[in-house]
Amino acid sequence: MPSLDEKEPTANSRQMQRIQTLIIGRLMVIFLLLVTSWMWSSGTLRLSFENFPQGLFLVFLISVGLTIAYFFLLRLSNNYAWQIRAQFFLDALLITWLVWRTGDLSSPYITLYIVMISVASFFMRPLSTIFMAVMCAFLLVSMSVLTGSGVIDSYGTTQTAGKAVQIVSFHIVALLVVGLLASKLSDRHSSGEELAETAKTLANLRVVHERIVESIRSGLITTDLDGNIYTFNAAATEITGYRLDELQGKPISKIFGDIHEQTDLSLSAAGNGEQLPRFETDLLTPEGFAVRIGFSVSLLFSEENEASGLIITFQDLTEIRSMEESVRRKDRLAAVGRVAAGLAHEIRNPLGAMRGAIQVLESNTDRTPIQTGLMDIVLRESDRLNSIITNFLSYARPAAVDFAETDVSEAIKDTLTLLKHSPDVQENHILKDDIGTDPIIISADSAQLKQIFWNLARNAIQAMPDGGELSVSLSLIPNNRIRIIFEDTGKGMSQEQVEQLFEPFSNSTSGGTGLGLSIVYQIVKDHNGAINVRSLEGKGTTITVELPKDNRRAASDPNIEVERPTKLKQFLKVPDDEQ
């Protein structure tokens, strides 16, 4: 589509083509007139040079010369309006000369004035067309006066003064009437051209407007005053996952929920001349993914400046909020790391002493059954506390990753084999895998990969205390990455637990410390991967882990950050494991 700047050269090109048609058409008409006049003068199809119309031939020669000059000027100047006026003025002079040479008032070529005025109406404005008719009448009157007074020779029959006045008056009236009619035709022709040009301009502007709307990176939705969706740009489709044909005519609440309060606040601010407020809300895509968006609402006005609907512009804030959460989490981890070493040392020393003292008392004291039970409790709890400290150190000060060629398929199979013999797995637990037989080799730390798989699988089993199905799948995806999916049919998680996903010491439905998934998150991050969780209460949980196959290249890029799970309604986390 030509741009608005390209429209003017296109109009000039069309005008040039019209003038070229006029120049060539004029020459052809004069040539045909020359031939027909020659045949008329001869009175037979046998043409003889004795009856050759000398005056008309001279006009033809002059027209050939003018044609060459017209084409030269057409290439030399872009002032086409003046060229058209000059051409018709010279045409009027040539017709007057031809009329004078062929009998002045009795010449049959007076009719050429009418033809010229009619043709001029297609190339000139109404006022210019009338002026052309007046000029033709003036030239005819001037020629009649000059021949009648004897200033120039008359080539026609001698007319009485009264007869000459009658003939001249009749032709003047005819020329002026034709001029008026031609001006009306010119007006309609000009209006039609302007209307066509205006329609084309409006069409171009509409296309440009649509392309601008489709190109902006913010989502844009227009609705009627009842909130029913009217238009939907490409960014809105990309953010929400819905297409216009799916939502056109449906209420905006299908995407944004109830936003009547936000709409009222926005319209009130606009009415008071204040800046439009910004709002945030959550929406769920058709695939079940949640998106955090920021949006604003404004009125849509018609051409009559009447409110005809609403304009809703919005942006995807999910990544921004995830980055903010990542920054906050790093700040917390920095503080945790500073106290981790000292805290572990201060706790482990007295813990070791307490355990040793209890073991000495146990060996040197006659124990009753109650005393034996109490000592066993102390020993178990000291072991549990030592395990918590160990996991905390693993999270706060993770071991360096030892990248090596690792078969992910084998690591998952080893984990599932170990899990089947775990006391957590009961007869009503079903374990399925879709791993395949072909090895999938990636650059990773084998021990840490198994820790990821073990924690995720064990969490899934603990989320199904009454039994259920756990399925694990492995596949290759584009961009040289792999995808591992753990899907269970357990009890899922609430929104509050989503907000604390992968946080250390978060509330755990299994009664653990919440460090298991925190360690998983840290390992995935160290492997330059991404982890995502989808869960609905009572519907189960799906955890997706994506890892690059070549971590040697990915590890060299310090900007790669693990993808945090989206924290939104109906997009919930799995339970933490007990470590």
CATH number of the domain bearing residue 237: 3.30.450.20
3-state helix, strand, coil in the chain (%, to 5): 60, 15, 25
In a domain, 161, yes or no: yes
The per-residue pLDDT for 187 is: 81
In a domain, 360, yes or no: yes
The per-residue pLDDT for 575 is: 34
User: Which residues are within 8 A (CB) of 59 and not within 5 positions of it... i.e. 6 or more apart?
Assistant: 30, 94, 97, 98
Q: What is the CATH number of the domain that holds 449?
A: 3.30.565.10
Of 286, 316, 346, the position where a domain reaches its end is 316
**Beta-strand relationship, 404-407 and 290-301:** unpaired
Query: 350 and 290: one domain?
Result: no
Tally of domains within the chain: 4
In a domain, 259, yes or no: yes
Other CB atoms within 10 Å distance of the CB of residue 96 = 22
d(CA 21, CA 122): 12
d(CA 261, CA 273): 19
Give the per-residue SS3 of 53-71. CHHHHHHHHHHHHHHHHHH
In a domain, 575, yes or no: no
414 in Cβ contact with 457 (< 8 Å): no
Query: 133 and 237: one domain?
Result: no
112 in Cβ contact with 101 (< 8 Å): no
In a domain, 425, yes or no: yes
Query: 131 and 251: one domain?
Result: no
In a domain, 569, yes or no: no
In a domain, 574, yes or no: no
Q: 7-42 vs 54-76: helix axis angle to the nearest 10?
A: 170
What separation, in Å, do the N-terminal and C-terminal C-alpha atoms of the chain show?
65
The per-residue pLDDT for 261 is: 85
Query: 163 and 64: one domain?
Result: yes
Q: pLDDT tens digits, the chain, 579 residues: what are they?
A: 444 444 444 567 777 888 888 888 888 877 777 777 766 665 555 655 566 666 667 777 887 888 888 888 878 877 788 888 888 888 888 888 888 877 888 888 888 888 888 888 888 888 888 898 899 999 988 988 888 888 888 877 777 788 888 888 888 898 889 888 888 888 887 777 777 777 787 777 777 777 777 778 888 888 888 888 888 888 888 888 888 888 888 888 888 888 888 888 888 888 888 888 888 888 888 877 778 888 888 888 877 778 888 888 888 887 787 777 777 766 766 666 666 666 666 777 777 777 777 777 777 766 677 777 777 787 777 777 777 777 666 666 666 678 889 999 999 998 888 888 888 888 889 999 888 888 899 999 888 898 899 988 988 898 888 889 999 999 998 888 999 999 998 888 876 776 666 776 555 555 455 567 877 888 888 888 888 888 888 888 888 999 998 875 444 444 444 444 443 333 333 333 333
For residue 281, the SS3 value is: strand
Query: 42 and 121: one domain?
Result: yes
What is the extent of the structural domain holding 280?
A: 217-316
Query: 53 and 200: one domain?
Result: yes
Q: What b/e sequence results for 344-379 when a residue is b if at least 16 CB atoms lie within 10 Å of its CB, and e otherwise?
A: beeeeeebeeebeebeeeeeeeeeeeeeeeebeebe
Query: 353 and 421: one domain?
Result: no
Of 181, 208, 235, the position where a domain reaches its end is 208
Of 208, 243, 264, the position where a domain reaches its end is 208
d(CA 225, CA 255): 17
Query: 449 and 365: one domain?
Result: no
Here the tokens at position 166 are 């009658």
The per-residue pLDDT for 40 is: 63
Query: 11 and 158: one domain?
Result: yes
Counting Cα atoms < 13 Å in the Cβ hemisphere of 225 gives 5
d(CA 42, CA 35): 11
Query: 43 and 191: one domain?
Result: yes
In a domain, 490, yes or no: yes
Query: 424 and 455: one domain?
Result: yes
pTM (two decimals): 0.43
User: Which residues are within 8 A (CB) of 127 and not within 5 positions of it... i.e. 6 or more apart?
Assistant: 183
d(CA 312, CA 252): 10
Here the tokens at position 316 are 């995807």
119 in Cβ contact with 129 (< 8 Å): no
For tokens 């084309």, name the residue: 200
Query: 437 and 365: one domain?
Result: no
- What is the residue type of 505? F
d(CA 101, CA 121): 27
